[in-house]
Structure 1
Amino acid sequence: MEQYLQLCKTILADGAVKDDRTGTGTKSIFGHQLRFDLTKGFPLVTTKKTAMRLITSELLWFIKGDTNVKTLIAERNHIWDEWAFEKWVKSEDYNGPDMNDFGLRAAQEEEFKQILDEQMNIFRKKILSDDDFANKYGDLGPVYGRQWRSWPSTNGQTIDQLKNVIKSIKNNPDSRRHIVTAWNPSEVDQMALPPCHTFFQFYVADGKLSCQLYQRSADVFLGVPFNIASYALLTHLIAKECNLEVGDFVHTLGDAHIYSNHMDQVHEQLSRQPRELPTLTISNDKESIFDLETNDITIEGYDPHPRIKAPIAV
């Protein structure tokens, strides 16, 4: 994972200081590319522990076209909780403590963080126990799963981009149109978070499937390790569905940034030596990737350095 660590060094050395939507501030560069040969190991960051279970359950959530955090919370995956929680605390139905700027305040005030944790636990329990509440506040709008599996067409129907691209790879492997896009301009304003990983393309050569992702906005410390592993996993899954071997995962970044409150964590990570990459195993018990569950996907030989905690910018 030297490429990833070098990206961190480049941003620290050459990045421009910029404001951002969250009010946190970043150091940022524009336009960077990473390439991972998936035959040489699964690209899961080893300089800090990265939760593959969360990556897997989130990707399967996308693949199944789901957009409600209830499914993820039930699997103890809280990646998307903050965006759904924000929807609730800004509503007329919320009557608890002031949650304005909860992400920044929790990072700066330990007392407030305890209050936030209490309210977040209340929110999660209500999502799991109250279907009406989950439908109203758990749904994130037309985010990734909706666009991948149910893109709204002009004739009132929907387009299953993911199934279409699998069919295209199987029937016309040399096509240059093996593309799935999550960036739908007509629905961006309805999404809890506009897609950061916006567009990906598959490529078949020599019996191997490669994938290139364009990511418009890349949180390099927290997000990018997840994104690398997620799309590497997606490449493995689509290759399996299409009876192909894996090739490369190419990760093209637009605005690649490190948040100002992640600097110490990045320096700590850079002080560590990368370790050997793990290997991926996908169960053969299911007929299709659309039937897979989190436990069907496992990582072997993963020996990372300890986890490094950092606040998420909402």
Structure 2
Amino acid sequence: MSKADDLFVSMCSDIIEHGTTTEGQRVRPRWEDGTPAYTLKRFGVCNRYDLREEFPALTLRRTALKSALDEVLWIYQKKSNNVRDLRSHIWDAWADESGSIGKAYGYQVGVTSRYPEGDFDQMDRVLFDLRENPYSRRIMTNLYTFSDLSEMHLYPCAFNAIYNVTQEPGAERPTLNMLLVQRSQDVLAANNWNVCQYALLLMMVAQVSGMEAGGLVHMIADAHIYDRHVDIVRELIERPHYPAPHVSLNPEVTDFYDFTCDDLVVEGYEHGPQVKNIPIAV
């Protein structure tokens, strides 16, 4: 059965059974009707996935993997902050009349900095270091730029991806691992979406760097279930589990900037029914 399901069920059960509530406190998010969106939450959740064992997609319900990949490409490949460059509408609530979400996400990836070797934006520097100095402990992207927060329509949630290379005994290729740091997460709406996104990003970067995708460690500072989501989550985690799907990329792609959603191959994805009309706090 899917290990991602096991981790998700364990995390959600822990939040519901042992989490603290923000009810009655001053909170920023609101429901569509204007009432405060309170949460049950746990601080400092850490989940580990190994892409060498299986792809971490939930089978309790379907995660839209091509849409998840499209958003990853929007941020790290297109380096866009405009929702018109995105196929889905998940960012529409935070976009202005021009489609911009401000100096957030893809904008930050595309900011150029000067290094001794030349000028690089964040993603290009990751790719350069993995090629030229793969055992560096400084390979990362960071989207949380304090000087630009006032011009972001939403502060970045998953903001720090740290890459780390290991050479496993007997392995022909180095293993590329990632630590993802997230300040806050709506567990029902976004947990597996983010996990699958960064698993796919890890797979793409590993492939073009001649490495094997290995461990994905996901650290969440504030992992929460909204008050109007608790009953939905209770039902979801009681569902049957299925084997994890087989997920791969077109092996002919050798340049990160050549990947498209058509290069994603998903096979044998058996899952429970979709959860529809999830209320989203903004």
CA distances 1:57-87 after superposition (whole Å, capped 9, x unpaired): 1111012101111121xx3x11111212xx4
CA distance in 1, matches of 2:227, 2:112: 36
1:159 CA displacement: 4.5
Which residue, 92, 116, 128 being the options, matches 1:81?
92
Paired residue secondary structure (1:221): helix
- Structure-1 residue corresponding to 2:18: 14
**What does residue 80 of structure 2 align with?**
66
How big is the shift at 1:152?
A: 6.7
- 1:131 maps to which residue? none
Aligned with 2:39 (options 26, 46, 50):
26
SS at 1:147 equivalent: helix
Size of the alignment, in residue pairs?
A: 258
Q: 1:162 to 1:241 in 2, by over 3 A?
A: same
Alpha-carbon distance, 1:286 to partner: 3.9
Sort the Cα spacing of 1:267 and 1:158 in 2 relative to 1 into closer, same or farther, 3 A: farther
* Distance (whole Å) between structure 1 residues aligned to residue 71 and residue 126 of structure 2: 20
Larger mean CA deviation between 294-303 and 255-264 belongs to 294-303
Does residue 227 (structure 1) correspond to residue 194 (structure 2)? The answer is yes
Instruction: Tell me the equivalent position of 1:103.
Output: none
Partner residue of 2:259?
A: 292
CA-CA distance at 1:284 after TM superposition: 3.6
Instruction: List per-residue Cα deviations over 1:243-295 (Å, max 9, x = no partner).
Output: 00111000001011001111111011111122111122212444412122211
- Cα pair 2:113 2:121 within 8 Å, conserved: no
Which residue of 1 is the match for residue 175 of structure 2? Answer: 208
Contact 1:151/1:158, CA 8 A, preserved across alignment: yes
Alignment pair present for 1:313 and 2:281: yes
Question: Which has a greater percent of helix?
Answer: 1
Q: Distance in 1 between matches of 2:38 and 2:56?
A: 28
User: Structure 1 segments of 4 or more deviating over 4 A?
Assistant: none
Please say if 1:40 is aligned against 2:1: no
Distance (Å, rounded) in 2 between the aligned partners of 1:214 and 1:145 = 17
Q: 2:108 aligns with which of 123, 143, 147?
A: 147
Question: Whose Rg is larger?
Answer: 1
Q: What corresponds to 1:49 in structure 2?
A: 62
Give, in whole Å, the separation in 1 of the partners of 2:113 and 2:147. 10
1:304 aligns with 2:265: no
Q: Is the 8 A contact 2:208 2:253 kept in 1?
A: no
Note the alpha carbon deviations across 1:228-248, whole angstroms, 9 max, x for none.
000111100110110001110
**Aligned partners of 1:79, 1:303: CA distance in 2, in Å?**
24
**Superposition deviation, residue 151 in structure 1:** 5.0
Instruction: Give yes or no for contact 2:163–2:177 (8 Å, CA) kept in 1.
Output: yes
1:95-153 Cα shifts (integer Å, max 9, x gaps): xxxxxxxxxxxxxxxxxxxxxxxxxxxxxxxxxxxxxxxxx2x0111111111122577
- CA-atom RMSD, angstroms? 1.6
Tell me how far apart the structure 2 counterparts of residues 286 and 165 of structure 1 sit (CA, whole Å): 18
Question: Structure 2: which amino acid aligns with 1:67?
Answer: N
| Number of the residue aligned with 2:32 | none
Q: How many Å separate the matches in 2 of 1:204 and 1:287?
A: 19
CA contact under 8 A between 1:150 and 1:158: conserved in structure 2? no
Contiguous gaps of at least 5 residues in structure 2: 30-35, 168-173
Offset from partner CA, 1:130-185 (integer Å, 9 cap, x none): xxxxxx2x0111111111122577xxx97411110111112112111011101000
Alignment counterpart, residue 153 of structure 2, candidates 192, 217, 221: 192
Distance across 2 between alignment mates of 1:182 and 1:158: 18
Task: Please name the residue that 1:99 is paired with.
Answer: none
For residues 210-244 of structure 1, give each alpha carbon's deviation from its aligned partner in whole angstroms, at most 9, with x where no partner exists. Answer: 00001000111111111100011110011011000
- Residue deviations 1:2-21, cap 9 Å, x none? 11211100100111111431
8 A contact 1:65–1:150 mirrored in 2: no
Instruction: State how far apart, in whole Å, the 2-side matches of 1:54 and 1:61 are.
Output: 10
After the TM superposition, which of the residue ranges 223-232 and 168-177 deviates more from structure 2? 168-177
